[in-house]
Amino acid sequence: MADFEVPELREYPIIPKLKEGVMAHSSPYVAKPELQQQLGFPGEMVDDWKEKAIDTLGELTGKYRSLQVFLDSCVKCGACTDKCHYYLGTSDPKNMPVARQDLLRKVYRRYYTLPGKIFGKLGMPGFVGAAELTEEVMDDWYAYFHQCSQCRRCSVYCPYGIDTAEISMAAREIMDAVGKGQKYCNEIIGKAQIIGNNLGLPEPALKNTLEGLEEDIEDETGVKVRMPLDEKGADVLLITPSADFFAEPHIDGLIGYAKVFHAAGISWTMSSYASEAANFGMFIGSYENTRKLSLRIREAAIELGVKRIVFGECGHAWRVAYSFLNTLAGPFDFLDPNYPVPQHICEFTYELMQQGKLNLDPSANDDMVLTYHDSCNVARASRMGDKPGGQFEIPRAIIRATCNNFHDMPADTIKEGTFCCGGGGGLLTDDLMEIRVKGAMPRMQALNDVTKNHSVTHMAAICAICKSQFSKVLPYYGFEMDQIVSLHQLVSNAIILDGQVTEGQETEGEEITN
Amino acid sequence: MALEVNGKTFETDEEGYLANLNEWEPDLANAMAKVDGAELTENHWQVINFLREYYEEYQIAPAVRVLTKAIGKKLGKDKGNSKYLYELFPYGPAKQACKYAGLPKPTGCV
């Protein structure tokens, strides 16, 4: 199945012995000149790339105080070393967060600290943890900063809160600035800026897909549930990852959102102009590109005259939306101030559940025993609801209301300690399959634990990347690809719409309490 | 990268997708399948032909749901599901079938 060794799942996690350089070969395809140029980057490596890289590093530390603090403050305590899923899955020491950071830090120390400058001139920069920027260093950057999914797990355990995600973003921005960008991310950003979404789905295709889904729902339930596109005057604009229109199991989540809007009687629409929630601009650390994608959402909201913006199930999108949307594309003073700007679809559904507006029959999901995968950027870079930890509790409350059988995975693998799916941060591409499969090991191990001990059959998630990544990597570990489900797929199964025809009015399933 | 078929050279990208959509011809699909160690049957062709027709109209590959529905109509309901499509195209119907059909690779969180 694979031309690399798939890690073994163990009964309990171990810290692997170091295998130096085993992942040095893992580098994604480089973006072609036209892809680079459309994002405002040089087409290919510029002649003075070394000077340009050092200058850009200086600009970034000047612009982002956090970056400079992160580069300055590491004391090499080692708390992060065994926290990265890519290190645990590959044994490559450069996938330890501190070592990954040091790839950039040593260059920063050489050119931007006094000891680095002095010892650099003496020809012994290594004495103070500094290093010259060479082609080998650049190759290491390209390989290992594309083995970081920017999941921020390491930052939770760092006593200084050093965020490797931000260091990875800076490194990618420097590489883009000298003309060495990643094909996967940069191609996608270009498509989203030209067509409106990462897949490149034009409006007619979107319309055709949504009409087909309306037919499917009516066939299944007997109820006309709408999937509105570009409808002016709707109350809510739904911004969702384009994978929700295209892939499995994402599309079942989209059907779930539509049923919730229908049951609540709230008018809503999607936009063909802003038909993407995921913002890949963040993955490459590019403020300008992150902003351009965010502005499309603002423009669509104004054009359609909506009162609220709700985001679908998408992890990094929610980070950008929750944490940065207002400064990137605000102020959103034209929206209804009685609702959070923006709102997560889970908050939206949860609120309706609290108000008793959704008729839910959890026995509809009795054929499954669920667990929940906290997506990294929702867990560690955002929040939901009005209480701390809402991003953990609200999705679980929805699962409990829609399913009778639920078990959490081991405590050190969920909530703020959640393990990334292995495909986040711009790594969800076939040319990085080895690192994706190996990086999924800690999550697969945790899933294996609840499968064995609690008969868990399915894992729910609220991120398009997580869903695609798990569909792909589950079979490598002996699971089935369809064991990953959308959270709103559970809602879709459990919700009973007014006038819905239920199949033969089945008897209720046996209730199992946990 | 390039692929030689019937004495003609077809440019492909680093992942083996055809560079110029208009150059596609059926023998190229057969040759691409051969590289992957597969042989295209009538059922594969139903999928490939549908992908090409859909692309012609919408400039994008169909969503997996759209594809399974269409194949279910053509080949029977028991074949209108992703499990069947994965049997035909083990690397994923969206990506592998698009490649053989000469279409660009679907991008994004898929």
pLDDT in tens, A194-231: 999 999 999 999 999 999 999 999 999 999 999 999 99
User: How many contacts, defined by CB atoms under 8 Å, are there between A and B?
Assistant: 86
Chain A residues closer than 8 Å to B95 by CB = 430
Is B11 strand, coil or helix? strand
**Contact residues, chain A, for B56 at CB < 8 Å:** none
Rounded to the nearest integer, the mean pLDDT of chain A is 96
| pLDDT value of position A296 | 98
Instruction: Please check whether residue B86 touches A, CB under 8 A.
Output: yes
Question: What is residue A514's predicted lDDT score, i.e. its pLDDT?
Answer: 45
Cβ-Cβ contacts under 8 Å, A187 against chain B: 107
Positions of chain B with pLDDT under 70: none
- The closest CB to that of B69, out of A204, A212, A247, belongs to A212
A363 touches chain B (CB under 8 A): no
Token pair, residue A251, equals 């599309």
Is the minimum CB–CB distance between B19 and chain A shorter than 8 Å?
no
Residues 6+ apart with CB under 8 A from B108: A188, A191, A197, A198, A199, A241, A242, A243, A246, A278, A464
User: Which residues from A are below 8 Å from B58, CB to CB?
Assistant: 202, 204-205, 208
Q: Taking 60 as the threshold, does the pLDDT of residue A512 lie above it?
A: no
Chain A residues 323-362 within an 8 A CB cutoff of chain B: none
Q: Tell me the pLDDT tens digit for each residue of B64-87.
A: 999 999 999 988 989 999 889 999
User: How far apart, in whole angstroms, are the C-alpha atoms of residue A447 and residue A453?
Assistant: 10
pLDDT at residue A3 in the model:
87
Domain ranges of chain B: 2-100
Q: With an 8 Å Cβ cutoff, is A205 touching chain B?
A: yes
Å between B81 CA and nearest CA of chain A: 11
Q: How confident is the model at residue B32, as a pLDDT?
A: 95
Q: CA-to-CA distance for A380 and A389, rounded, in angstroms?
A: 10
Q: How many CB atoms lie within 10 A of CB B79?
A: 19
Cβ A465–B95 below 8 Å, yes or no?
no
For A7-22, what is each residue's pLDDT tens digit?
999 999 999 999 999 9
Measure the CA–CA gap between A425 and A316, rounded to whole angstroms. Answer: 8
**CB-CB: which of A202, A242, A431 is closest to B108?**
A242
Q: Which fold has domain B2-100?
A: Arc Repressor Mutant, subunit A (1.10.10)
- Whether the model clears a pTM of 0.90, i.e. scores above it, the answer is yes
Determine what percent of chain A is predicted with pLDDT higher than 70. 97
Asked if pLDDT for residue A508 goes beyond 50, the answer is: no
Domains belonging to chain A, first-starting first, are 33-181 (1.10.1060), 190-407+456-494 (no CATH)
Instruction: List chain B residues with CB under 8 Å of A205.
Output: 58-60, 62
Please tell me which residue of chain B has the smallest CA distance to A30.
Answer: B14
Q: How large is the ipTM?
A: 0.95
| Residue of B13, B96, B109, B110 best to disrupt the A interface, most CBs of A under 10 A | B109
- In 3-state terms chain B splits into helix, strand, coil percentages (rounded to 5) of 55, 10, 35
CB B30 within 8 A of CB B99: no
Q: What is the pLDDT of residue B65?
A: 93
Q: What is the DSSP string of A116-147?
A: HHHHHHTT-GGGGT-----HHHHHHHHHHTTS
Partnered with residue A463 across adjacent β-strands are: none
CA-based nearest residue in chain B for residue A279 = B108
Mutation for testing the B interface, residue in A32, A187, A214, A246 having most B CBs under 10 Å: A246
CB of A186 within 8 Å of a chain B CB? The answer is no
Identify the residue among B14, B54, B110 best suited for mutation to test binding to A, counting A beta carbons within 10 A and taking the highest.
B110
* A242 interaction partners in chain B (CB closer than 8 Å): 108-109
Checking if the pLDDT of A1 tops 60, the result is: no
How far is the alpha carbon of B101 from chain A, nearest alpha carbon, in Å? 18
B109 vs A375: CA distance, rounded Å: 14
Per-residue model confidence (pLDDT) at position A232: 98
A379, A421 contact by CB (below 8 A): no
Quote the CA–CA distance of A182 and A31 in Å, as a whole number.
Answer: 5
Of A200, A204, A467, the CB nearest to B107: A200
Residue pointed to by tokens 């459990």: A494
| pLDDT tens readout for residues A105-120 | 999 999 999 999 999 9
A430 with B86: Cβ contact below 8 A: no
In this prediction, residue A190 has a pLDDT band, given cuts at 50, 70 and 90, of very high
pLDDT tens readout for residues A372-402:
999 999 999 999 999 999 999 999 999 999 9
Q: Which residues of B are catalytic?
A: 109
Contact A241 B109 (CB under 8 A): yes
Q: How confident is the model at residue A503 (pLDDT cuts 50, 70, 90)?
A: low
Identify which of A122, A198, A208 has the alpha carbon closest to the alpha carbon of residue B108: A198
